Structure formats: C-alpha cells, structure tokens
Amino acid sequence: MSGFDTLDPWLTDEQRAFRRNVREFFAEDPVRKAVAALGVHEPREESGLLDVYRRLGERGWLAAAWPEEYGGLGLTAVEAGIVLEEMVLNGVPEDQHVLSIDTVGQLLLLAGTPEQRTRHLPALAKGEQIATVLFTEPHCGSDLAALRTRAVPDGDGWRLSGRKIFNQKSQFAEWALCAARTDEGPVRYHGITLFLLPLRSPGVVINPVWSMGDERFNEIVIEDVRLTAEHIVGPVDAGWQLLNDMLLLERTGMDFQAKLRRWLDIVVADARRTGRLADSGYAQRIADVDAQLKAGRALAWRMVRAQVSGEPDPVASAASKWFITQQSDAVVRLGADVMGLDGLLSRWDGEAPADGLLESVYRQSPAHTLASGTSEVMLQIIAASGLELSS
C-alpha cells in the first residue's frame, strides 16, 4: 500500500490521524482473519453480511459522513473517502458499501422522509442490513428513460410490476431502491418514481444470473406488489433528477482507483519477487501505469473535496470515472505479462500466485467501464455538457 503519499496536502491533521486509526484497524489480527476468510469461498459462493462491515459499523466508520442519529459520526466526505479507500486497499469487497451506503443510503439522506431515514439508515450504518438498487432492465441499460417497470395507482397506494436484471446482492438485501414508470407523458425523463421495495414481499422472485465475475448478478421479477406512500422516495414522477443527483455523488471514482492500486501493488510485489522489477522494460511499464493511477487518484480526491465544498461538478465527475476505469486494461495486461501463465491460475489452485487474484481480476475488470455509468455515457456527458458539442 505504498503506491501513494499518505500525507495528502488537502488533509487536515485530524483527517491524517483518522486515516492512521483506520489503517491500524485493518492491521488488527481479527480483522485480517475476517478479510482473509472472504477469499476461501467455493465457485459461485459469496458472502452476504460481512463481519468486517459490522466491526466498522460499531465505530461509526461504515457511514462516517452520516449524522450520528443515523449511525455515522457526522464527519465529511473526506473521512468517508478515507474509509472506502482503505477498505479496498485491504481487500475488503466494496460492492455492499457502494450499494448500501454510497447509493441507497445517500439518496435517503438527500430525499427520504424522516421516517424512512430513521427506519432504514441505522441498520445500514451498522452493517446489519444490505440495500441494493433495481434500475437496469433487460431491454435498457444506461438509458433508464426507456424502463418499462410500472407502478399503477391502486387506491391510496400503487401496484408495482416489472423485471429488473444485473442487480448485485439482491439475494442478501432486505429492500431495494426501485425505479418505475408512473406516468407516460411526452417527456421521457418525466414520470419516473423511486420506490423502496421490500425484497421479501410476495410477488418478488430473485433468480441468479451467472457471469464471469466472482459475485453473481440477479434477475428480479416483480408481479403486482402493492406499495404505499411510505415506500416512495422523493416526489412522484421526479425520480430522474434524483437519480442524476445520486449518480453525481457516486461517481468520484474512489473505489475504482483504490482497487486498481491494490492490483498494481500485487503485480509490483510479484515483479520484485521474481526479479522482473530489475528489467528496464518491465520497470518502465510499471512506472507508466503507476503515474496514471496517481493521476486518477488525484482526480477522485478532487471530486470528494468538491462534494465537501458543496460544488459537485457532473462533467468533472464523469471525466474522473472515465479516466480511472480506462486504466483497468493496462493494469491487467501488465499483470499478465509480469506474472506469466502462472498468473492465470485461479484462487482454487494451490499454486496460484497472489491467491489467484490476477485471474479473478482478468475476469472482472471489463465491468469497471460499465458500472456507475458506461464509458460511452461518461464521454457523452463530457462532450455535451462540458464541451457543448451537439450530435
């Protein structure tokens, strides 16, 4: 974890001390054992609620920027970024955090009612529950305005029906933030409403969708599930703007850059072990990738600081996400060249170097340019909103 300077000039003394405390936490033996246990699953197995999340929740660190009444510490996005960065650098799966804390929880803080926040946020902040999102549908990915899941009025409530796909952690989650169409007006981006859907409701069926990744996706079939006004987040028909606001907060690139840094550090350690680090060809490539990752990290932290100052920038956030995730391919190819054929052994092979991480990374890295908005969508935002280019 020496790939970046811990004395970041934008951190206060208190924030540097906070990072040291978080690092000491991850160095504790029980925590290291809990993280190591996550890597021993059989194929197609994965963890739900994580012990390390509960340990973070006990300290108020899992949602450090949330108000204390909801299980946080009332700190800033900087401290939250420190926790997320250190989690990923230490090999803790971040999907549950990104979904539950950074996405659903943050949107409830932004637009939820006091009752919704009191009911749902403390359990998320303690790592005792998981929340997920239901946006993508079989016929539409990034174009959420084309979604077909519908909620029709039913007395004082709604009847929700539709089909969602490529959702993670739904098999473990208690509830999900679901986008549904509630009006068919002439404006495509109007008439979308966000609902809190209890996933154990009659009429909700969760089917696995297997992929090359270690963690499964899911298909969610929703058949005539009745919801009430207490399940609606934000105004009816105004979910599109809320989704944009939420994605702006999510697209710092912090989790992506930390994951790439961890991968590169493992490649460098293997190059040092095998003597390839002394080869000028390998050394130059490592230096080049290292420089790109440091630039990406600087962009990610710039987005975090923009949130703290109350001046988030959609174009800069899109640029940060795009630039960072574009480095995935370079890191993976470098790792394959440095580690050779042995690097393609899976973690279920006893002779795999670095516990088979490279083989897992090789399968998962393409998803970086899809998650939180595809690279094409990021470029469209940069071109249209930043450069004011028309199609």
Residue 249 pLDDT more than 70? no
Please report whether residue 1 resides in a domain. Answer: no
Per-residue pLDDT, averaged over 324-347, amounts to 89
In a domain, 244, yes or no: no
Residue 304 has pLDDT above 50, yes or no: yes
Q: What is the pLDDT of residue 45?
A: 75
The boundaries of the domain holding residue 177 are 133-237
At residue 180, the 3 state secondary structure works out as: strand
- Mean pLDDT highest for which of 224-228, 330-334, 379-383? 224-228
Distance CA 357, CA 62 (A): 25
Pairing of strands 175-181, 131-134: parallel
Q: For the residues 361-384, what does the mean pLDDT come to?
A: 84
5 found inside a domain: no
How much is the pLDDT for 7?
A: 60
Q: At 75, phi and psi to the nearest 5?
A: -90, -155
Q: How far apart are CA 253 and CA 373, in angstroms?
A: 11
Residues 329 and 364 in one domain: yes
Inside any domain, residue 376:
yes
Among 129, 163, 179, give the residue marking a domain's end: 129
262 and 161 assigned to the same domain: no
109 and 139 belong to one structural domain: no
- In the predicted model, is pLDDT for residue 70 greater than 90? yes
Which helix (H) or strand (E) covers residue 139, if one does?
none
Q: Which residue has the higher pLDDT, 214 or 216?
A: 216
Taking residues 356-374, report their average pLDDT: 82
What sign does the CA torsion over 304, 62, 113, 187 have?
positive
**Are residues 217 and 137 part of one domain?**
yes
Would you state the pLDDT for residue 2? 43
The pLDDT, as a whole number, for residue 1 is 42
The model's confidence at residue 17, banded by pLDDT at 50, 70 and 90, is very high
Say whether both 137 and 124 belong to one domain: no
Q: Are residues 257 and 377 in the same domain?
A: yes
For 230-246, write each residue's pLDDT tens digit: 999 999 999 988 887 77
Per the structure, the count of domains in the chain is 3
Strand partners, 192: 181, 238
Query: What single-letter amino acid sits at 287?
Result: A
Query: Do 181 and 199 have their domain in common?
Result: yes
Higher pLDDT, 184 or 228: 228
Residue 246 lies in a domain: no
72: left (phi over 0), alpha (psi -120 to 50) or beta: beta
pLDDT in tens, 161-200: 999 999 999 999 999 999 999 998 778 788 999 999 999 9
**Nearest Cα residue to 317 out of 378, 375, 261:** 378
Mean pLDDT computed over every residue of the chain = 90
Same domain, 333 and 288: yes
Q: Tell me the one-letter amino acid at 337.
A: D
Q: Are 378 and 255 contained in the same domain?
A: yes
Residue 280 lies in a domain: yes
CATH of the domain at 313: 1.20.140.10
Question: Domain of 143: which CATH number?
Answer: 2.40.110.10
In a domain, 54, yes or no: yes
Residue 3 in domain: no
The residues, any chain, with a CB within 8 Å of residue 334's CB and separated by 6 or more, are 264, 267, 285, 286, 289
Task: List the single range of 76-90, 296-310, 311-325, 363-377 with lowest mean pLDDT.
Answer: 363-377
Q: What is the pLDDT of residues 76-93, one digit of tens each?
A: 999 999 999 999 999 998
Residue 100 shares a structural domain with residue 35: yes
Q: pLDDT band for 154, please (50, 70, 90 cuts).
A: very high
The SS3 of residue 351 is coil
Give the Cα separation of 16 and 84 in Å (integer): 15
Residue 353 has a pLDDT of 81
pLDDT at position 248:
67
pLDDT at 332 over 70: yes
Determine the pLDDT at residue 105: 95
Q: Classify residue 243 as exposed, middle or buried by CB count within 10 Å of its CB (0-12, 13-18, 19+).
A: buried
Q: Which of 184, 213, 237 is the endpoint of a domain?
A: 237
Name the band, by pLDDT with cuts 50, 70 and 90, for residue 391.
low
Measured distance CA(334)–CA(274) in Å, rounded: 15
Indicate whether 114 and 159 sit together in one domain.
Answer: no
Q: Are 58 and 224 in contact (CB under 8 A)?
A: no
> For residues 359 and 12, which has the higher predicted lDDT (pLDDT)?
12
Is residue 171 domain-shared with residue 198, that is, in the same domain? yes
Select from 129, 154, 169 the last residue of a domain: 129
Give the chain's count of helices (H) and strands (E).
14, 8
Q: Do residues 163 and 149 lie in contact, with contact meaning Cβ atoms separated by under 8 Å?
A: yes
User: From residue 196, how far is each of 160, 231, 328 by CA, in Å?
Assistant: 11, 5, 34
